[in-house]
Every structure is written in structure tokens, then in C-alpha cells.
Amino acid sequence: MKKFGVLNQGISEVIAGMGHGDQLVIGDCGLPIPQGIRRIDIALTPGVPGFLETLCVILQELEVESAVIANEMEDVSLKMYEGVRELLGAVPIQRCSHEEFKKMNQKAVAVIRTGECTPYANIILNSGVNF
């Protein structure tokens, strides 16, 4: 049995298989997930697990080069945006419209669906290298 880190088999498997430039999406429970993209559904009930707590755990295992969020996150869900900024620290964050964000999901290796019910609580993490 794994002792620490991400215990979810699907998430652990995806992160271990990612290479430089691959994209992993963490989304709220309403984010549409394109056909053919791996769905890792960890939603239990509304709000559980939350988006920020999921992002925090993923950032402990995934080397992130940059991230993408929808413009609407800062405008509509300021606390969520501030939490993302705090967790990502110096990682560059690109912005786009929510519609463009949904199109970009088509390139992801997987989408992790959380129980988050806050509008626009979605992020694309671009994998970096740790050397």
C-alpha cells in the first residue's frame, strides 16, 4: 500500500505518466469533459473534495511549468482566484475565456472532476521538468 502522496490510483497513474508539456485539468463538478479524454471523478458530494484542496495535493507531486485559468475566475470567484495564486506562487498563469478554456480541455491527458460547486473553479496544469 502506498504510504504518502496521491493515494487515488487514477491520479497517481496519470501524473507518473506525464511528460514535459502534457496537460492535466482540475475542474469543478460542472466542467464539461470532452469525449475521449480520461475522466477521473473524485466528486463525492457538493463541495467534497474541494478544488483548492485537490490542487494543493496535485502540486505536491506534479512539476508545473505554467497554468491556464478562465478570465471569469477572478471576476466571479475572487476568493478561488486568490487561493489559486497563493498555491501556484511563481508559476505563470495564462488566461483565456471560459469558452476557450473548454476547447483547450481537448488536449488534456486527463480531467480530474472535483465536487467543487464554485463557478469557474477550473485549471489546466502544464507539466514541466524537474531538472
Active site residues: 20
Instruction: Cite the beta strand spans of 42-105 per DSSP E.
Output: 64-70, 93-96
Contact 31, 72 (CB under 8 A): no
Residue 41 counted as an annotated binding residue: no
126 is in an annotated binding site: no
- 75 annotated as ligand-binding: no
Q: What is the DSSP secondary structure assignment for residue 48, as one 8-state letter?
A: B
99: left (phi over 0), alpha (psi -120 to 50) or beta: alpha
Determine the Cα–Cα distance for residues 62 and 87; give it in Å rounded to an integer: 13
Kind of pairing between the strands at 123-127 and 93-96 = unpaired
8 is in an annotated binding site: no
Location of C-alpha cell 471523478? 41
Find out whether 81 is annotated in a ligand binding site: no
Asked if 127 and 55 touch (Cβ cutoff 8 Å), the reply is: no
Annotated binding-site residue numbers: 28, 98, 120-122
Q: Binding site for substrate, residues?
A: 28, 98, 120-122
